[in-house]
Amino acid sequence: MEDPILEYNILDAVHGNDGSLTQRSISQKLGRSVSSVNFALRLLAVKGYIKITGANPRNLRYHLTPQGLVQKSLLAYDFLKRQSALYEEVRKNLLAKLDGLAAEEVKQVAVYGWTPFTEAAILYLIAAGIQVATLYVERLEPSMACNRLPLKGIEEFTPDCQVLVLMEPLPKTCKARITARTVVCFPVP
């Protein structure tokens, strides 16, 4: 199969609901067409990953085989291995950019964006002796909390820093109002 994500998702759906899913329910769950799910299920059955039971074509049931469970695990492992390498590359680039701020003797920054890397960036900046004045986000939500660091919506931006560290792209409505120098720390495609 050329689409390992679809293969994993089908194996996962079948594994989680062994024997109780139809092609239609799998296609609805995955947001894919019934015909693409049908093709994938038949291919997975030929490979020995899924067992198909039932006499009526409208009521076929799908069961994960032991080989299917192994394949599902291998697909997950391969995905995590690729993502870990990507994560490390992004992290190294982020730390190199933040090192550049320390080398320029920047004393105070603000950070915009809440991403999986934001907390690490803030901790790294503090460890490098750079004060983080504010964490700006696009929308303040009640579930957001930031210990000991002012949290504000980006529309409240004031030049309270030498540099604004961007952890994600700024909203188009705010770009013209940002007066501080910006350093882009998110991966640019």
Q: pLDDT tens-digit profile of 61-92?
A: 889 999 999 999 999 999 999 888 888 888 88
Is residue 142's pLDDT more than 70? no
Tell me which residue range forms the domain holding 19: 4-64
User: pTM to 2 decimals?
Assistant: 0.61
What are the strands of the beta sheet with 131-137, ordered from one edge? 151-153, 131-137, 108-112, 163-166, 181-184
The mean of the pLDDT values for the chain is 86
pLDDT of residue 43: 94
Contacts for 178 with CB less than 8 Å, ≥ 6 apart: 157, 164, 170
Backbone torsion region of residue 105, taken as left when φ is above 0, otherwise alpha when ψ lies between -120 and 50, otherwise beta: left
Same domain, 172 and 130: yes
Beta bridge partners of 1: none
Whether residue 20 lies inside any domain: the answer is yes
Same domain, 138 and 174: yes
Same domain, 146 and 109: yes
Whether residue 73 lies inside any domain: the answer is no
Residue 51, domain CATH: 1.10.10.10
Our count of domains for the chain comes to 2
Same domain, 106 and 59: no
pLDDT by residue (tens digit) across 147-189?
678 888 888 888 778 888 989 888 888 776 787 788 888 775 4
Same domain, 106 and 165: yes
Same domain, 164 and 100: yes
pLDDT of residue 69: 93
Residue 177, domain CATH: 3.40.50.720
